[in-house]
Structures are given as C-alpha cells and as structure tokens.
Amino acid sequence: MHIHDILAADQTTISFEFFPPKTEADAQALYQNITLLEALQPSFVSVTYGAGGSTRQLTHDLVLRLKQTTSLDPIPHLTCVCHSENEIEDILTKYAEAGVSNTLALGGDPPRDLANYNRKSDAFQHAADLVRFIRSYNERGAHPHAKGFGIGVAGFPEGHPATPNRLEEMDFLKAKVDAGADYICTQLFFDNRDLYDFRERCELAGIRVPIIAGIMPITSLAGMRRMAQLALGARFPAKLLRALDRAANDPEAVKRVGIHWATEQCRDLLDNQVRGIHFYTLNRSDATRQIYQNLGLQDSTTLRRTALKQAT
C-alpha cells in the first residue's frame, strides 16, 4: 500500500524497523522475531540501509523476502552517500518491479572504512536532492502504481547533530518536504516534550505532512550506550537515568524499566494524537510485544487490520 493509503486506513500507524542480518544465525533469529511481530499486523515495517549503501544487497534481499513471504508492507531506506543517479534508478526500478510502494530517503553516512570520503562526487548532496529524484521517477510513470513511490524523510526532535543552527535545520526539513516527501519519521527520543515541540515548530514552518514518532525501548545498559553513540546525541532524561541506576545490577530489572518508560511514552503519544509510532526493534520482538500488551494494542490492531483487508 502507498503510504497515503496506509495513513488513511490507520488513525495512528504502528510500525517496526529491522536491519539486514549479516550472518545465517542472525538471519534465523530475525525471521523468528519477524514471525512474532507479523502477528501484531503493523501498518508497515522499514528496512535500514548501511552506511554508504554497505548493506545494499542485504537490504534488497530482506525487503523482497518480506514482500514475498509475509503479509508485511516493507519500506526500504535509501541514502545519498556513495551513489550515482543510475544506481538509485536501478534500485528504484527493482523495488517497483517487486511491488514495493514506499521508500525512506536519507542523507546517510559514509562507510566506516571511508572516513575521509569526499562527498562532492555523489550525485545527491542532500536528502532533498534524493527526494526530488524519486519524485521525478514517479512523475515519469516508472512505477506501476499510479501514485508511484510514497516518500518518507527523517526528522530530529532533539535536533540534527550535524546542524547546530535549529532555524537552519528546520529550513532543511522543509526543503525535503517541499521536494516531495509524504511523511516524516523521527529519530528516537525519550522525552515526549521534544516531539511535541518539534511538531509545533514544523507547523510554524509550514510543514504539514504526517509526523511518525520513533521509539526505541531500552533493554540493557550496554544497548543504551550503543544507542547514544548511534543517535549522535540522544538525550536521556534524569528520571529515566535514576530508574536505570536503581536497576543497574539486575539486567531483567533494567529491561523492565526500559519497557515501562517506552510504554508510558507511547501511552502519552497516543493520548496526544500522534500520527504514528515507529518502533526501532533492533531485530528483537520481546520489548515491542510487551509494549503492545501493556497498551492494549494487540487485539485492537489485529481487528483493525483484518477489517481493512476484508474491505479491500
């Protein structure tokens, strides 16, 4: 389904993110978790794209497997770094032929083994350029769906780490939306006030597309530290840190604290009419399924998606 249709069907979308497995053992674990999460009937799932396209083929393989062997609607990530127009065109064509209806257009990072990579040779200097190219692909009628690819972009409630000027940052986000983005999916955050302020600033800037909130439950202290590194500056509220400190010697207690915090975040987001919640699953299922149960989402979501399938 095109993202417009998904958003029209669900008052609040619920979605999951996966990353491509690199080993057979990782693949088996992921597909077991996908089976468990598929039962929750999410609105869609997304698949990440490694720095500089380093997981290009793995991403493609996972997206096609999800499309062909599950009921899930996969949204592949695409990045600007290390890509030519011909390469992006080829990727889009393969996805279009496979019936994939949406993509998430990102700036991306250079591969770790190319730390001094010069981006001047890249065809797309900014995510807005990639959005514009995908939109032109749609306008050429290259996608079999009349609407072409739905296009998502990233948003940063706590601020983009590479753009300390917050006014300029909002200009960049608006440029992505004006280039043709259909929705925004945010980076993870742990204080909902950051999301609500971000939502208001978008409205003031004339950004009217739906905003989907990114949530990542903390399940271990080591994972939290990796999360902080990957997010390049995630803010952990003092109340959360105090609770984690109290549980620090008990891994199961740490996990319970993280799931409780994420549950309360999601409950508050639902109460405040957030347009969607996107779970960064880290290819696991336990935390997300527990949050579903805590919120009473599992049965209602299943009924909603079943009714939608029957209607179509």
Distance CA 282, CA 255 (A): 14
Angle between helices 24-38 and 286-295 (to 10 degrees): 10
Helix H, strand E, coil C: the string for 161-189 is: CCCCCHHHHHHHHHHHHHCCCCEEEEEEC
Catalytic residue IDs: 17
Q: Which residues pair with 13 in a beta bridge?
A: 276
- Residue 306: the pLDDT is 45
CA distance from start to end of the chain: 11
- Residue 83: the pLDDT is 87
Q: CA distances (Å), 192 to each of 53, 74, 159, 225, 232, in order?
A: 32, 27, 14, 20, 18
If you count DSSP H runs as helices and E runs as strands, how many of each does the chain have, helices first?
Answer: 12, 8
Per DSSP bridges, beta strands 276-280 and 13-18 are parallel
DSSP string of 89-101, one letter each residue:
HHHHHHHHHTT--
Distance CA 280, CA 301 (A): 18
What's the token pair of residue 88? 């992006």
- Residue 140: the pLDDT is 95
- Residue 229: the pLDDT is 80
- 158: Cβ–Cβ under 8 A, 6 or more apart, which residues? 187, 189, 194, 233, 234, 235
**Is-contact 221 244, C-beta < 8 A?**
yes
Q: Within 10 A of 296 (CB to CB), how many other CB atoms are there? A: 10
**Is-contact 201 177, C-beta < 8 A?**
no
Distance CA 171, CA 179 (A): 12
- Residue 303: the pLDDT is 43
Length reported for the chain: 312
Tell me the one-letter amino acid at 179: A
What does the pLDDT look like over 114-156, one tens digit per residue?
A: 667 777 778 899 999 999 999 999 999 999 989 999 999 999 9
- Residue 57: the pLDDT is 87
Q: What is the mean pLDDT of each run of 10 residues along the chain (312 residues)?
A: 94 94 93 96 92 74 96 95 91 96 90 70 91 97 94 95 86 97 97 97 97 96 86 88 95 97 97 96 95 80 47 46
**Is-contact 195 213, C-beta < 8 A?**
yes
- Residue 52: the pLDDT is 57
**Is-contact 17 48, C-beta < 8 A?**
yes
Cβ-in-10-Å burial (0-12, 13-18, 19+) of 140 comes to exposed
**Is-contact 83 125, C-beta < 8 A?**
no
- Residue 7: the pLDDT is 94
- Residue 53: the pLDDT is 57
**Is-contact 126 169, C-beta < 8 A?**
no
Q: What share of the chain is helix, strand, coil (3-state, %, to 5)?
A: 50, 15, 35
